Structure 1
Amino acid sequence: MGLIDNSVTKKSHLFENSIWKYVVRAMFAGMYLTIGTAIAVVAAEKANHIHPDLGKFVYAMLFSWALIMIIYMGAELGTSNMMYLTAGASRKSIKPKRALQILLVCIVGNLIGGIISGALVMRTGVFLDFNASHYLAETVAIKLSKPAFQILIEGIFANVIVNTAIVASARIKDDAGKIIAIQFIIAFFAFLGYEHVIANFSSFAMVFFGGGIAEMTVSSVLNNFFFATIGNYIGGGLIIGFTYAWMNKGEALYFD
C-alpha cells in the first residue's frame, strides 16, 4: 500500500470512528495558518520600514512555517486533502462519496479554526494598532480586488506548489530536509501572492476582526473563496492527485 492509500485509510478511519476528532484536527490547521500568517505579516510590516521591498521576502520565508506546523502537528488541511482524496478515489482506496464528505468537513473545520483564531489573535498586542496601511490589510485588499479568472489561475498554481511541498516532505526521511524543502517550496506561492483558500480564511478573518477594509464586502470575499477553491481543487486535486494516480496506474517500476 502506497503513501496515498495509507494516508487516505487513516483519514477515512478517523472520520468514520470519531468525526469530532477529525473536525478538531481540521480546526487546528486553520489555527496554525493563522499563527503563521500573524508572525509573517508582523515581520513583513517591520521589514518594510527598513526597505519597502523587503517585507515580501520576509513574509514568504516565515509564512512557510504554517505548513510545517500543520504537518508536524497532524492537522487536516483541505488543500492537501484535495490531492489525497482525489487520488485515493481514483485508486479506489476510498469511495468518491466518502472522499467528498471528508473534504467538505475538512474545509469547514479549517474555516471555523481560521475564524476563531483570527478573532483572538487580533486582540493580541502586536495588532492593537492595526489599520488599513498595515502589510496584512494591503495584502488582503489586493486579493479582494483581483478578477475571478486571475484568482482561479493563481489558485491552480498555489495548490500545485502546496502539494508539491506535501509530497516532498513525505518522501524525505530527515526532519531537517523536510523543513528546508517545505520552507522554500511554500515560499514560492507566498512570495508570488497566489490564492490559497484556506490561508485566505485566516487572513480575511484577521482583517475583518481588525476593523475591516473598504475592499472587504460580502461579494468580494465570496468571489475570492469560490474561485480560489475551484482553482485549488484543479491544481491539487486534478493536476497533482488525479494525474499522478493515472500515471502510476499499472506501473511497477516507475511508481511515485
Structure 2
Amino acid sequence: MAASNPLPYVVAESARKRQVMNSSPLRYFLSAVMAGGLIAVVLIVSLLLGQALHLAGSPMYYAASAGFFGTALCTIIVSKTELFTSNVMYMAVGLLSRRVSWKELGKSWFLVYAGNFTGALLLALMYAQTGALSHLPANHLLFDVIGHKVHADSWAIFWKGALCNWIICLAVWVPLRLSNDMAKLAMTMLLVFVFFFSGYEHSIANMAFFSLSWFASAGVTPDWADTLHNLIPATLGNIAGGAIGVAALNFYLERDTLEEVGHSLSKQEAALAHS
C-alpha cells in the first residue's frame, strides 16, 4: 500500500503516533530526544567534512556538507523516531483525516519540538566534553553559518523555513511511492541536499547549530534574543511548508486513495464474514 499510495500510509502513521503519544508521552518525548541527537551528531560530521575541504581550498566544501546531511533524515525515518519537521506533516494529515484532534496536534508538536531541542542540546554538551569545541577557529564553518542565520531578516527566515519543510516533507512523502529501498534512500538524500545546499532554515538543525556554538570557545555565540530571532520565524515557516505545502495539498490531491483503501477493506471484511 505504501509503495503506491502515500496518503493511506501517512494517515495510518498519524493514528499510530497519536496512540503512542496518548498512551506513553514519555516514550514519545524520548523518541524526539533521540531524533534531535541524531540531527546534531550528523551535523557535526557535516561541519567537519565541510571545514576540512574549506581549509584545503576546495570550492565544494558546502556541497560536501549538504550531501552528507541527508544521513540524518534517512536514519530518523528508518528508526521511526520523531522529528518536528516531518511530524508537522504527519499530524496535519491526521487532523485532516480526523484521526487527530486540534488538541492532540498541538500536544504532539510541543512534545516533539521540546524533545528535539533537548536531544540536540544534550548531544552538543556531550560533544563539548570531548574537547572538540575548545579550539575552533573564529572563522570556522559553524560560526559562518550561524552568522548568516542570526543576521537575516525575519521575513526571509520565515520563507526559507517554509521552503525547507516543503522539501523535507517531500523527502518523506515522495519515497513512499517507490518500492526499492535503495531508491527511497537515494531520493531522500537528494531532496535533503536540495534544502541544505540552498541555505534554507530547518528549525531543528538550527537548534543543533546554536547548541554547538554555545559550548564553543570562540566565534559567534548567539544569545537568546538572536536564537529566538531565528527559531521563531523558522519554526513558523516549517509549519507552513509542511502542513500546507505537503500535508493539506496532498490530502486534497490524493484523498480518493483513502476511499479506495476503505472500499477495499470493506470488501475484505464482507468476504471474511461470509466465509
Q: Under TM normalisation by the shorter chain, which class is it?
A: over 0.9
Q: Tell me, yes or no, if the aligned pair for 2:169 and 2:246 is still in contact at 8 Å.
A: yes
TM-score between both structures, scaled by the size of structure 2: 0.87
2:188 counterpart of 1:182: yes
2:67 counterpart of 1:58: no
Distance 2:254 2:187 in 1: 24
Match of 1:141 in 2: 147
Opposite residue 162 of structure 1, the aligned amino acid is: I
Distance 2:131 2:78 in 1: 27
Going from structure 1 to structure 2, the CA distance change for 1:123 and 1:172 (only over 3 Å counts) comes to farther
Match of 2:165 among 159, 163, 181: 159
Deviations 1:65-92 (A, max 9, x none): 1111111122101110111111110111
Match of 2:101 in 1: 95
Q: Tell me, yes or no, if the aligned pair for 2:213 and 2:221 is still in contact at 8 Å.
A: no
Match of 1:242 among 234, 248, 251: 248
Using the TM superposition, give the Cα deviation of residue 214 of structure 1 relative to its aligned residue in structure 2, in angstroms: 4.1
Match of 2:55 among 39, 49, 54: 49
2:21 counterpart of 1:15: yes
Q: Tell me, yes or no, if the aligned pair for 2:32 and 2:113 is still in contact at 8 Å.
A: yes
Distance 2:29 2:80 in 1: 12
Q: Tell me, yes or no, if the aligned pair for 2:146 and 2:220 is still in contact at 8 Å.
A: no
Q: Root-mean-square deviation (CA), in Å?
A: 1.7
Q: Tell me, yes or no, if the aligned pair for 1:141 and 1:213 is still in contact at 8 Å.
A: no
Q: Tell me, yes or no, if the aligned pair for 2:161 and 2:233 is still in contact at 8 Å.
A: yes
Using the TM superposition, give the Cα deviation of residue 246 of structure 1 relative to its aligned residue in structure 2, in angstroms: 2.3
Q: Tell me, yes or no, if the aligned pair for 1:29 and 1:75 is still in contact at 8 Å.
A: yes
Distance 1:122 1:185 in 2: 30
Match of 1:193 in 2: 199
Query: Identity percentage over the alignment?
Result: 23
Pairs aligned (count): 253
SS of equivalent residue, structure 2 residue 183: helix
Deviations 1:169-191 (A, max 9, x none): 33323221121111111001111
Going from structure 1 to structure 2, the CA distance change for 1:52 and 1:141 (only over 3 Å counts) comes to farther
Using the TM superposition, give the Cα deviation of residue 3 of structure 1 relative to its aligned residue in structure 2, in angstroms: 1.1
Using the TM superposition, give the Cα deviation of residue 215 of structure 1 relative to its aligned residue in structure 2, in angstroms: 6.0
Distance 1:101 1:63 in 2: 28
Opposite residue 8 of structure 1, the aligned amino acid is: S
Match of 1:222 among 211, 217, 228: 228
The answer for unaligned runs of 5 or more in structure 2 is: 1-6, 261-275
Match of 1:150 in 2: 156
Using the TM superposition, give the Cα deviation of residue 141 of structure 1 relative to its aligned residue in structure 2, in angstroms: 1.2
Q: Tell me, yes or no, if the aligned pair for 1:26 and 1:77 is still in contact at 8 Å.
A: yes
Is 4-13 or 153-162 further displaced after alignment? 4-13
Distance 1:178 1:246 in 2: 24
Deviations 1:127-148 (A, max 9, x none): 4422321111111111111110
Q: Tell me, yes or no, if the aligned pair for 1:161 and 1:186 is still in contact at 8 Å.
A: yes
2:128 counterpart of 1:122: yes
Q: Tell me, yes or no, if the aligned pair for 2:70 and 2:190 is still in contact at 8 Å.
A: yes
Deviations 1:16-63 (A, max 9, x none): 111111111000110000011000000000011222522111100011
SS of equivalent residue, structure 1 residue 38: helix
Using the TM superposition, give the Cα deviation of residue 100 of structure 1 relative to its aligned residue in structure 2, in angstroms: 1.3
TM-score between both structures, scaled by the size of structure 1: 0.93
Distance 1:30 1:199 in 2: 8
Distance 1:118 1:17 in 2: 30
Opposite residue 94 of structure 1, the aligned amino acid is: V
Opposite residue 124 of structure 2, the aligned amino acid is: G
SS of equivalent residue, structure 1 residue 225: helix
Q: Tell me, yes or no, if the aligned pair for 1:60 and 1:187 is still in contact at 8 Å.
A: yes
